[in-house]
Structure formats: C-alpha cells, structure tokens
Amino acid sequence: MDHQEIMTRLQEEFGRQYGSADGAELWFAPGRVNLIGEHTDYNGGHVFPCAITIGTYALVRKREDGLLRYTSLNQDPGRVYEKKISDIEAYTPEDGWTNYANGMIKAMQDNGYPVTFGFDAVIYGNIPVGSGLSSSASLLTLIGVILRAFNGIDVTNEKIAWLGQYTENHYIGVQSGIMDEFAIAMGKKDHAIYLDTATLNFTYAPIDLSGYKLMIMNTNKKRGLHDSKYNERVAECTRALHDLQKELNLATLGALSPEEFDQVSYLIEDPVCRKRARHAVYENDRTKRAVEALNKGDLQAFGDLMNESHLSLRDDYEVTGIELDTLAQTAWMVDGVIGARMTGAGFGGCAIAIVKDEAVERFTKKIVDTYTKEIGYAPSVYAAEIGDGPGRIG
C-alpha cells in the first residue's frame, strides 16, 4: 500500500470505530536495520543502524478526557482496546500489543513528563511483526512523539529513544539496549547512525549506495524477544563482565580492545560466557573498523566485516540458527554480493546484504530457491531504503 492507500484505509477504520475522522492526524515512525554492531548496545559498544522507509502509521485524534482508544489494522483487527491513562500500572497480558503504547505512557510519567491527554488511534504497520526490523521500537517511538505533541512535553528525540528502552526494560521485560529506539527516533534519510552506546555520542554517516542495493532477506521465522534467548545473552555478558571486574577497573565490555580482551579473558570462568564476551568485544572493534572503511569509500572492506560479524554471531554468540545461516551463506556465494549478515537480535528475523544493482535479480532468485529448498518455506526478499525519523506526515 502506498501512503494514500494507507491514509484511506486508516480513515475508513477511524470512521467505523470512532465516528468521523475529522481533525485526525497522520503520524509515522520508521523501522530500522542495523548494518553492523550486533549485541554490542547493552555492552557499552558501538552500533551502526539506519532507519528504513517501512514502519508504523497512526491516525490519531487528541482526547481531552484521559482515555486511550486503540485499534490496529494488522494486530487483532477490528478490536478496540480502551484504557484510562490513570489506570496504567504494569504489563497486562489482556492489553495485547497496546502494552507497548501504555508502557511508553508509564515511562513518560515515571520520568517526569506528565501525560494527561489521551487519544483515539488507528494503527497500521508495514514492518512484519517479529521480523527483527523493530516493529515494537517503531510503535514505542511513534507513541512517544504523538504524546509529546498532544501534551506539549519538552523532550528531545534522544530522550524519547531512552524512554523507549526504559519501557522495554521495565514494562515489557526485555533487557534490550538503546539501539533500536535510537535508530528510529534519530533516523535520517540516506544516513546511518554511528552511535557509542556507552556515552550516547553519535555521528551521521552518509550511505551512498549508488550502484548497489541494501537487500532485506526475511527468514519468515517469527520470534519475539520475550520468548527468545535474548535476556540469557544479556545475562551471560553481565556475568563475563563481573568476572573481569574482580581484577580490573572496567565499566563495560565495550571498553576493551580485542588485544586487551585476549590477555584477560582467562578471568572469565565460564567458557560460554567467555565466548559471548569475545563476540561483544570483537564486534565492537569490527564496527569501528567498518565505519572507517566506509568513510574511506572502501565498500568491499565494509562487506568483509559484515561477513565476519555474521560468523561471530553464529559461532561465539550462537544467535543465528539454520534459517539465518542459510540466508547469509547463500548470499556469500552469489557474485556481486559485497557482504551479508543477520541483523537485529537473531533467532529468526532478517538478514541483510549489500548487492550490486546488476546482481539483484540473480541474488533474489538464488536466495528464494535455496532457502525454500533447505528450510521448506519461502523467505521474503526486497530492497530497503534508508529513511527519516518519526513525525507527523498528514
């Protein structure tokens, strides 16, 4: 669906559920892909994500009475969730997907940003849920910027990203880092964000892909971070850090270079935790080198580091699985592929590849054929575009 079709569908549903759509506003927040720097953001390392042009739309109208009404075109369609702002306390299974929106309100209230005005909303997302392209961070950020406007709250996009992470950590129960929300809240067309998650210092890096496409390969294997081993990986890294801190004055794993890590890694007692920490440290270093390579215009060096990143996520971090490995390994064999790796948390979800324009057709066919044969169902393969952050669009 293009923008106009989305607007029409949202207006129809708005009219059906809440009466006329007069005075309703259209808002959008993107999804994201991470180019490199995976599972480094809760280890004080660097990440290099970008916002993409698919994301989450909301047609919303402010209410004066502190009531929230939500419905979605793609999650429990036809069902309207209602909640009073004053009744929001904690994650509630019956609230379904609206827990993300309620959680964002709670996060704002907890952190000194009072929310009094509610809204009627119809939501539509064109990021497949559970695909690792951050549909949940997109929804969180979208609600954040809408609440800011409706309640006249003085809060920056960086802080909204932080509030999104706070929601994930404290309301949803996923110990995620800040990458997804930051990439979405701070997204900029044709740029990736080089973010140091230890300090939240960041720079924009122009991504000039003329002659190439950034391809997304979706395993179509669904997973939520709740039911994945995500929190287990966070805990393994924390344990590794604690072991190191017994002897060293160290704030995060991201503070170590690979050479320093190799000298002290014997301090980490559990060999599994040692492998996890090795990934975090080496991936952080790879991310720094990848951005340097890109700044020098060396796209092939960038692609080689993407491939190394996937191998480390497969062997040391163990978050890839047969589906993502099949996608990456198939991509590596296609002529014209500069680099390919899983993106996001892993355990299913999506992989990405940088592919020469003239190889895109061949690449797509090879991926679809091989994956379908090996896994038993088809992947989705399409080109991504790097887009802007959230805002009102109509």
List, by residue number, the catalytic residues. 180
Q: Is 38 in the site for ligand GLA (CB under 6 A)?
A: yes
Tokens 């009073």, residue located: 84
Binder among 45, 177, 303, 387 for ligand GLA (CB under 6 A): 177
Options 3-11, 32-40, 56-64, 354-362: segment touching ligand GLA (CB under 6 A): 32-40
Q: Is 13 in the site for ligand GLA (CB under 6 A)?
A: no
Cα separation, 369 vs 327, in Å, equals 11
Q: Is 237 in the site for ligand GLA (CB under 6 A)?
A: no
Q: Is 56 in the site for ligand GLA (CB under 6 A)?
A: no
Residue 1 Cβ vs ligand GLA, minimum distance, rounded to whole Å: 26
- Any idea what DSSP says for residue 190? T
Task: Please enumerate in sequence order all residues whose Cβ is within 8 A of that of 43, keeping only pairs 6 or more positions apart, or say none.
Answer: 177, 197, 237, 241, 252, 253, 254, 280, 284
Beta bridge partners of 203: 194
Beta bridge partners of 356: 212
Tokens 């995060």, residue located: 252
Residue 141 Cβ vs ligand GLA, minimum distance, rounded to whole Å: 12
Three-state DSSP class for residue 174: coil
Residue 319 Cβ vs ligand GLA, minimum distance, rounded to whole Å: 8
In the sheet that 380-384 helps form, which strands lie side by side, from edge to edge? Answer: 337-343, 350-356, 212-218, 380-384
Options 33-41, 52-60, 206-214, 259-267: segment touching ligand GLA (CB under 6 A): 33-41
CB atoms within 10 A of CB 262: 13
Contact 44, 245 (CB under 8 A): no
Q: Is 316 in the site for ligand GLA (CB under 6 A)?
A: no
Residue 33 Cβ vs ligand GLA, minimum distance, rounded to whole Å: 10
Cα separation, 256 vs 317, in Å, equals 17
Q: Is 41 in the site for ligand GLA (CB under 6 A)?
A: yes
Q: Is 345 in the site for ligand GLA (CB under 6 A)?
A: yes
Residue 49 Cβ vs ligand GLA, minimum distance, rounded to whole Å: 9
Instruction: Please identify, using beta-carbon distances, which residue of 165 and 370 lies nearer to ligand GLA.
Output: 165
Residue 183: what residue type? A
Contact 194, 203 (CB under 8 A): yes
| Environment class of 381 (CB within 10 Å of its CB; exposed 0-12, middle 13-18, buried 19+) | buried
Binder among 13, 120, 180, 285 for ligand GLA (CB under 6 A): 180
Tokens 């003329």, residue located: 210
Q: What track of x and - describes contact with ligand GLA for positions 77 through 106 (by CB under 6 A)?
A: ------------------------------
Residue 365 Cβ vs ligand GLA, minimum distance, rounded to whole Å: 29
Binder among 176, 228, 284, 309 for ligand GLA (CB under 6 A): 176
Q: Is 379 in the site for ligand GLA (CB under 6 A)?
A: no
Residues of this chain that interact with ligand GLA (CB under 6 A) are 34, 38-39, 41-42, 176-177, 179-180, 344-345
